[in-house]
Amino acid sequence: MALKEVLKQKIEEFRPHIQHLIKEHGKVVIDQVTIDQAIGGARDVHCLVTDISYLDPQEGIRFRGKTIPETFAALPKAPGSKYPTVESFWYFLLTGDVPTQAEVDEVLAEWKVRQYVPSYVWDVIRGMPRDSHPMAMLSVGLLAMQRDSKFAHYYSSGKFNKMTAWEYTYEDAFDIIARIPIIAAFIYNLKYRSDFQNRIGKLDMGANFAEMIGQCEEYKDVARMYFILHSDHESGNVSAHTTHLVNSALSDPYYAYSAGLNGLAGPLHGLANQEVLDWTIKFKQKYCGAAEPTKELVTMALWDTLKAGQVVPGYGHAVLRKTDPRYMSQREFCLATPGLKDDPLFKLVSMIFEVAPGVLKEHGKAKNPWPNVDAQSGVIQWYYGLREWDFYTVLFGVGRSLGCMANITWDRALGYALERPKSVTVSMLEKWGDEGGRPEIIAKAPTLTNV
């Protein structure tokens, strides 16, 4: 059965769960909010719903219930590769089912049809100053295609129906994930090379991307692994949450993911992969000169960064409390790749991994002293010759499109509401602080006082 039909069946089966929850358990309390959470970025407030992935602080990410190794093991592989195709992963993220090879082939064929990028997008990006950040180019390139949104056309047709709106979101979502690697490759070539060709051959997305940016055979697996690992990290992170929030206003997927990309471009989020490379290269220049890096020099550089009031990029996480399994997965790739495992930059990144958690623990601020996905990803790109590190977040953005697009397809399918939390003023907080809580809450639920 075609992907959209499978999805339709799943959605119809799943909708009663939401109706039942609202009707039977709508008023059941699942969380409470303290003053430091309200001021501190809503950490750990349980108020978002997604079934695409779940992030456990200790275990790390599960995509549709599967850990990263389980996901890689379960999905059909690209021809001659140990890694699954991104196409098979897209099917899995959307439906929760492991596709057969025939189903993957169907997705791949559809992907090819959808990957045509209108030529005005190239004009828009070419019209930007060449030193614009590649993330700005990606966001603008995507937004330029908004006129193609099937959801927006459907909405303005006057026939809009909440029950079928997801079908148009799905159409846009699939178009976006097929087109975004092509735009990313165009940007790469425009900024750093000069021979862009939009290849619509038979190759899967990862392999096609590798060819479009002039990469070697081995890089095809790097691209597959990278896009899958960066796809989704439940829905509270800035890029996923922004996409969900903007889409909740029924802004179409082009508006929504362009906004999500703008959030990903922040140094506390996706830009950290560029910052890691920047930090590491500057460390070598400033602290080592011609000498080999040592643990003592790394320790000194980490303390200098912290004493200057800066964060150590690639370390810490808002939810995770252990080494990010996405870090480990990339590390295992490095260790299993002859050449890469002996690469000086990989050895230095490994040395930072040995030293930084101890320094961060001693510093005593970061709740999680362990590395996140961004601490390891740049070194792989660097090894394969992709040394323009301001491009690394674009790669993250290509991968993240899979999760964000799967999420908003389901958001519309399940009719999730316009997101609109309530704000308060500082003087209200001061008053409630003195009184031991907000009076209405204390009155309604005495068990929630003094939390």
Site string for ligand CMX, 157-196 (x = CB under 6 A): ----------------------------------------
User: What residues pair up with 55 in beta bridges, in sequence order?
Assistant: 61
Q: Is 175 a catalytic residue?
A: no
**Concatenated DSSP letters for 37-76?**
HHHTTTTT------SSEEEETTTEEEETTB-HHHHHHHSP
CB atoms within 10 A of CB 26: 8
Catalytic residue among 175, 232, 374, 411: 374
Site string for ligand CMX, 15-54 (x = CB under 6 A): ----------------------------x-----------
Q: How far is the CB of 64 from ligand CMX (least distance, A)?
A: 21
Among 51, 37, 55, smallest CA distance to 421 is for 37
Region near ligand CMX per CB under 6 A, out of 102-110, 209-217, 264-272, 384-392: 264-272
Element (H, E) at 242: helix 238-248
Among 63, 397, 111, 88, smallest CA distance to 226 is for 397
Q: How far is the CB of 40 from ligand CMX (least distance, A)?
A: 7
Site string for ligand CMX, 297-316 (x = CB under 6 A): ---------x----xxxxxx
CB atoms within 10 A of CB 62: 17
Region near ligand CMX per CB under 6 A, out of 141-149, 336-344, 372-380, 383-391: 372-380
Q: How far is the CB of 316 from ligand CMX (least distance, A)?
A: 2
Site string for ligand CMX, 202-241 (x = CB under 6 A): -----------------------------------x----
Task: Quote the crossing angle between the two packed helices 219-229 and 86-95, to the nearest 10°.
Answer: 20
Q: Pairing relation of β-strands 60-63 and 53-56?
A: antiparallel
Distance CA 409, CA 415 (A): 10
Q: Is 31 a catalytic residue?
A: no
By CB under 6 A, is residue 366 in contact with ligand CMX?
A: yes
Instruction: Please provide residue 56's backbone torsions phi and psi, each rounded to the nearest 5 degrees.
Output: -95, 135
Residue closer to ligand CMX by CB (options 224, 326) is: 326
Select the residue interacting with ligand CMX from 66, 269, 400, 438 (CB under 6 A).
269
Among 108, 69, 66, 78, smallest CA distance to 90 is for 108
Select the residue interacting with ligand CMX from 148, 175, 252, 374 (CB under 6 A).
374
Select the residue interacting with ligand CMX from 94, 143, 318, 345 (CB under 6 A).
318
Residue closer to ligand CMX by CB (options 178, 402) is: 402
Distance CA 18, CA 412 (A): 13
Q: Which residues contact 369 (CB under 8 A, 6 or more apart)?
A: 315, 316, 356, 357, 358, 359, 360, 361
Q: How far is the CB of 408 from ligand CMX (least distance, A)?
A: 19
Residue closer to ligand CMX by CB (options 64, 230) is: 230
Select the residue interacting with ligand CMX from 280, 372, 376, 381 (CB under 6 A).
372
Q: How far is the CB of 269 from ligand CMX (least distance, A)?
A: 4
In the chain, count H helices and then E strands.
21, 2
Q: How far is the CB of 305 from ligand CMX (least distance, A)?
A: 8
Select the residue interacting with ligand CMX from 60, 99, 253, 270 (CB under 6 A).
270
Residue found by looking up tokens 């080592």 in the block:
288
User: Token digits for 237?
Assistant: 């992170």
Sign of the alpha-carbon torsion through 431, 433, 434, 438 = positive
Task: Check residue 82 and report its DSSP letter.
Answer: S
Catalytic residue among 230, 241, 244, 269: 269
Among 137, 107, 135, smallest CA distance to 205 is for 107
Select the residue interacting with ligand CMX from 223, 225, 272, 345 (CB under 6 A).
272
What is the three-class DSSP state of 326?
Answer: helix
Distance CA 219, CA 214 (A): 10
CB atoms within 10 A of CB 308: 7
Q: Residues in contact with ligand CMX, total (CB under 6 A)?
A: 22
User: Token digits for 334?
Assistant: 């490095």
By CB under 6 A, is residue 370 in contact with ligand CMX?
A: no
Site string for ligand CMX, 91-130 (x = CB under 6 A): ----------------------------------------
By CB under 6 A, is residue 317 in contact with ligand CMX?
A: yes
Q: Is 269 a catalytic residue?
A: yes
Longest alpha-carbon distance in the chain: 69
So which residues are the catalytic ones? 269, 317, 374
Which residues contribute to the site for ligand CMX (CB under 6 A)?
A: 43, 237, 268-270, 272, 306, 311-318, 365-368, 372-374
